[in-house]
Amino acid sequence: MQQSRSSHSWHHGPSWLWLLSFVVVIAGDVLVLQRWTLLPVYVMCFYGGMVVIDLLTYPLLERWRAWLRMHGSRGKWVWYLVEVGGMWLGSSAVLIATAPLWLAWRWQVPVVLQVVGWGVLAVSVGVGVWAAGQMGWARLLFASALFPPGESAQQNDVPQRLVLSGPYRYVRNPLYVTDATLIASTALVTQSLALVGLLVIYLAQLAMQVRLEERELRQRFGAAYERYLRAVPRFVPRLRPVDPAEIEEPPVRQG
């Protein structure tokens, strides 16, 4: 989900809502239920829904674009209704209904791995907050891909710039990295075998999605994205942040 420019504006809504959601579900499990229920259900529904959305979006991108163009300036809100109201909430309803079954799928995790899981979970949520803070709802909900540069994007007020700030200066897909580590760490903390299965499905889906997404971003951002591909790793962060100026404008060779 890589779709704005080197603006350093912070999008408070998605970033702090992401952090608050984990505070609420963990507090609910620890202080109220005193067993792991809300956290594994939340992670399963959130990322299970994401898998469904990804599988139904990028492979059918052109068809979605053509359909949404028919809705003019209302296209973005129509997409949000379909994505969040249909795909996300629909898949979440199925997962919640079947939760009594899959919550019982547990595995024995050594205490030391549970402690490691807590540390990885904290870091994953923190980096996720940082990354989400660079994006905004339109980019986090795929609207930038569905309304490419032109009249449609302008009608729907959808940003069309390459994110070159925050963790995106170190790694191209910080949210995908934290997605995987967050699912894995939650599986360790809650000893949920179902989340191990979700992780396998998520990674398999991601292998397909990243190729389609990068192809689409090449078409959308051209030479700047090609420079970004060469300078910033896909999943393993570089040690020093890339200079956004090197991506937006290639350095001029002397002599």
Percentages (nearest 5) of helix, strand, coil residues in the chain: 70, 0, 25
Asked whether residue 3 is domain-assigned, the answer is no
Asked whether residue 6 is domain-assigned, the answer is no
What length is written for the chain?
Answer: 255
Asked whether residue 16 is domain-assigned, the answer is yes
What is the C-alpha to C-alpha distance for residues 157 and 76, in angstroms, rounded to an integer? Answer: 9
pLDDT at 46: 96
Count how many domains the chain has: 1
> pLDDT (tens digit, 9 = 90+) per residue, 213-245?
899 889 888 999 999 999 999 999 999 999 998
| Tokens of residue 111, six digits | 């205490």
Contact 40/195 with Cβ under 8 angstroms? Answer: yes
Asked whether residue 173 is domain-assigned, the answer is yes
| Coil vs helix vs strand at 106 | strand
Asked whether residue 70 is domain-assigned, the answer is yes
pLDDT at 250: 60
Which range of residues forms the domain containing residue 206?
Answer: 12-248
Looking up residue 194, the CATH number of its domain turns out to be 1.20.120.1630
Global pTM exceeds 0.95: no
Residue 46: count of CB within 10 angstroms of its CB: 17
Asked whether residue 145 is domain-assigned, the answer is yes
Contact 109/26 with Cβ under 8 angstroms? Answer: no
> pLDDT (tens digit, 9 = 90+) per residue, 176-218?
999 999 999 999 999 999 999 999 999 999 998 899 889 988 9
pLDDT at 4: 40
Asked whether residue 221 is domain-assigned, the answer is yes
pLDDT at 220: 86
Q: Report, as ranges of residue numbers, the positions in the chain whose pLDDT lies below 70.
A: 1-9, 250-255
Asked whether residue 2 is domain-assigned, the answer is no
